[in-house]
Structure 1
């Protein structure tokens, strides 16, 4: 179980493509791409993992390929029946990673490049690089949330269909994607193997630029 990289696996290309600060808010509204590889995360799997996480007080998604939010920010994603990804504050994830493991719990080294995508042209980008219809997933989340807006939306959802974890490929790269709503607006969290991060970032930022967006700081996407 690891917490975070000392440096982002895409640090160099992010620095080379990041828009000027004065341009970032406008670009993010259209289509922003942010590097969140340094977010603390931990992975684990095994037959004892579900019970172990429950005993540590984490919310457990009821089915594979869905996620639940953590209080204070972050998420628990269930990638299989006994495999989990936890992302949250450095303090929280460090405490989780240092907790004595129960029998049947095995750590997974998370060497991810992780990105955040959002903006009004997000669907246009995704349709170019992925076969999944994310519009249907956002529509399901919005319908189930009702009038609830913002980051609290996910905690009010009652079925996994509104909190899917999508295992797919983008531009030929295997990715894990969490589509979500932020203040009622769609966005995606994307994880991929760090060794493919440079290529995927280059692909995404190129399309984002064509659609009127670009590389921004994470805070620009909420």
Structure 2
């Protein structure tokens, strides 16, 4: 299982594209992209996984392709029937990565590039880059969507934050630079840009 990465797969391109500090709040309000690849995360799957998570007092989403919030602001996403991604709750990730796995539970490595999109024009970017109609989804249902953006396979999780609706996106780290650079170019055309995460959610 993965924990925190030593370095973000997109650190170099973020450094090149990051909006000037004085303009980041303004850009984020329109259409911001942030790198959150260093958030701690881990994954597990297999026929014994649900019972194992239950035994560790980890909430399990009832339906496939949905997610639940965790206590420290993190989340657990159910990817299909018996695969799970846990992110940004250090206590839960620590529990899962240090507890011996039960029979039928297998680790899933997550060396992902992880991005957050948000802002007034985020729906326009998604319409240009993906064939899923995200506007038709209800964030209250906590959906998780496996799809592609600009030809890159991604997992997308819409989430209502204190600053508005955001979209968490994960992809294989080797495609992270291309994905971020392409999304940044579109965001820039729409009046936004690459920003620090705190400008998109509290």
Q: Secondary structure at the match of 1:176?
A: strand
TM-score calculated relative to the size of structure 2: 0.96
Q: Structure 2: how far apart are the matches of 1:180 and 1:186? A: 6
Greater Cα offset, 5-14 or 93-102: 93-102
Query: How big is each residue's C-alpha offset from its partner over 1:113-166, in whole Å with a ceiling of 9 and x where there is no partner?
Result: 0000000000000000001111111xx23xxxxxxxxxxxxxxx5xxxx11100
Structure 1 gap segments, 5+ residues each: 142-156
Query: Secondary structure at the residue paired with 1:27?
Result: helix
Query: 1:52-91 maps to which residues of 2 (within 5 A)?
Result: 52-91=52-91
Matched-pair contact (CA < 8 Å) for 2:75–2:89 = no
Instruction: Provide the residue aligned with 1:43 in structure 2.
Output: 43
The 3-state SS of whatever aligns with 1:167 is strand
What is the CA–CA distance in structure 2 between the aligned matches of 1:120 and 1:196, rounded to whole Å?
Answer: 26
Establish whether residue 215 from structure 1 lines up as the match of residue 194 from structure 2.
yes
Distance 2:64 2:23 in 1: 39
- In the alignment, which residue of structure 2 is the partner of 1:173? 152
**3-state SS of 1:54 partner:** helix
Aligned-pair CA distance for 1:95: 2.8
Q: Contact 2:58/2:92 (CA < 8 Å) preserved in 1?
A: no
1:165–1:178 contact (8 Å) kept in structure 2? yes
User: How many Å separate the matches in 1 of 2:163 and 2:29?
Assistant: 13
Partner residue, 2:126: 126
Distance in structure 1 (CA, Å) of the matches to 2:196 and 2:74: 18
Q: How many residues align?
A: 201
Equivalent residue number for residue 96 of structure 2: 96
* TM-score, scaled relative to structure 1: 0.88
The structure whose residues are more often helix, as a share, is 1
In the aligned structure 2, how far is the partner of 1:94 from the partner of 1:124? 38
- Higher mean C-alpha deviation, range 67-76 or range 178-187: 178-187
- After superposing on structure 2, the runs of 4+ consecutive aligned residues of structure 1 that deviate more than 4 Å are none
Larger mean Cα displacement after TM superposition, 179-188 or 70-79: 179-188
Q: Is the 8 Å Cα contact of residues 43 and 85 (structure 1) preserved in structure 2?
A: yes
1:32–1:216 CA contact under 8 A, matched in 2: yes
Contiguous gaps of at least 5 residues in structure 2: none
Residue number in structure 1 paired with 2:175: 196
